[in-house]
Amino acid sequence: MNLDPEQLPRHLGRQLAPLYVVFGDEPLLILEAADRVRAAAARQGHTERELLMVESGFEWRRLWATGASLSLFATRRLVELRIPGSPGVEGGEALITYAADLPPDTVTLISLAKIDRRGRETRWFKALDEAGVVIQAERVTADRLPRWLAGRLEQQGQQADTATLAFITARVEGNLLAAHQEVQKLALLFPEGPLDFQAVRNAVLDVARYDVFDLGPAVLAGDAVRVSRMLDGLQAEGVGPPLVLWALAEEARALLAVGRATRGGKSVQQACRELRVWGERQNLLPQALKRIDAATARRALAQAVRTDRVAKGVARGDVWDELKGLGLLLAGADPGVRTP
């Protein structure tokens, strides 16, 4: 069974599986999911807890030895296994063996590092998936964050309108722990019920953190305001201009190459596969191609060359102004107009 973290409370209210595997990209959601499993296990009498940390030289036979031996005073137990990296060949085989014969009267909670698609295709991960419940804490992206915030506010008896949720999202984007803290703060400051936008505006801090790898999807989505805000944030956080330039130039090249392929008779999906454009970028490209034609994409690449020269000190100018102009051009806005 596969669940996302928001589905876990309902599942734990109905039943308790013998094995839980938690992994993903959001540390906060991973910690919350693990805490919920621990609490549910404690409520159902799993009072003894064994914690195993997989470090260099870890003896994998300890996993089965721990699961196989109950103390004299406890009939139920929680076994936690934390694997910060790859389990390796020996660890993988140990996990397969353990999953095939889970110990009785024991709930096992396994916390993993980030697992990519290839990792999820390994024999050991599939064995864990088949034997228990897998909780994947996917990254809460900007488009999902308002719904996430609304759900957290609802849990504490508060509601916010679309404008208020958009405002909070803009202030905490890329920093889910800060988003969680801001929601908790609103519970302390205001009573249950609808939240006033101005009151929230005065209370919420600007704690956004931006990832340069989110810049491309924002550009392809044509969200010029967000692109401008992200570039300001990346500059404030001290991100190197060459990395930002690379991210923007990649989108210009993708738009030019995919556009050329589609004009040659290929579908956008086929072109994306051949050019190794995946995920969110692949979904956003069709609309971006309607907005950015070949001439604009070539102009963006020329702008990228100029920006590179400015960054290296060969040409005059402010590199962040150049990056802002490039980002707005790719987002379909007038580069001469600075968005707020």
Region 198-203: what's the mean pLDDT? 88
User: Is residue 334 scored above 60 in pLDDT?
Assistant: no
- 213-330 has which CATH code? 1.20.272.10
Question: What pTM, to 2 d.p., does this model score?
Answer: 0.68
User: Is residue 250 scored above 80 in pLDDT?
Assistant: yes
Per-chain mean pLDDT for the chain? 88
User: Is residue 71 scored above 80 in pLDDT?
Assistant: no
CA distances from 307 to 27, 187, 322, 325 (A): 36, 46, 6, 10
Confidence of residue 76 (pLDDT cuts 50, 70, 90): confident
Please report, as a single letter, which amino acid is at residue 48. Answer: E
Residues 6+ apart with CB under 8 A from 211: 174
Could you tell me what percentage of the chain is helix, strand and coil, using 3-state DSSP and rounding each to the nearest 5? Answer: 60, 10, 30
User: Is residue 205 scored above 70 in pLDDT?
Assistant: yes
Confidence of residue 307 (pLDDT cuts 50, 70, 90): very high
Please compute Rg for the chain using Cα positions: 24
CA pair distance 114, 23, nearest whole angstrom: 6
Please determine whether the domains at 2-137 and 145-203 fall in the same fold group of CATH: no
CA pair distance 288, 61, nearest whole angstrom: 53
| 141 vs 150: which has the higher pLDDT | 150
Residue that is written with structure tokens 């805490």 in the block:
35
Q: What is the pLDDT of residue 158?
A: 96
User: Is residue 91 scored above 50 in pLDDT?
Assistant: yes
Confidence of residue 95 (pLDDT cuts 50, 70, 90): very high
Phi, psi of 300 (to 5 degrees): -65, -40
User: Is residue 298 scored above 90 in pLDDT?
Assistant: yes
Confidence of residue 304 (pLDDT cuts 50, 70, 90): very high
Region 311-335: what's the mean pLDDT? 88
Q: What is the pLDDT of residue 173?
A: 85
Region 70-82: what's the mean pLDDT? 75
Confidence of residue 204 (pLDDT cuts 50, 70, 90): confident
Count other C-beta atoms under 10 Å from residue 131's C-beta: 20
Q: What is the pLDDT of residue 74?
A: 55
pLDDT tens digits along 23-36? 998 889 999 999 99
CA pair distance 334, 339, nearest whole angstrom: 9
Q: What is the pLDDT of residue 82?
A: 93
User: Is residue 339 scored above 60 in pLDDT?
Assistant: no
According to the CATH classification, is domain 145-203 in 3.40.50.300? Answer: no
pLDDT more than 70, % of the chain: 96
Any idea where the domains of the chain sit in the sequence? Answer: 2-137, 145-203, 213-330
Region 194-218: what's the mean pLDDT? 86
Q: What is the pLDDT of residue 269?
A: 84
- 2-137 has which CATH code? 3.40.50.300
Phi, psi of 199 (to 5 degrees): -65, -40
Region 77-104: what's the mean pLDDT? 90
Q: What is the pLDDT of residue 338?
A: 41
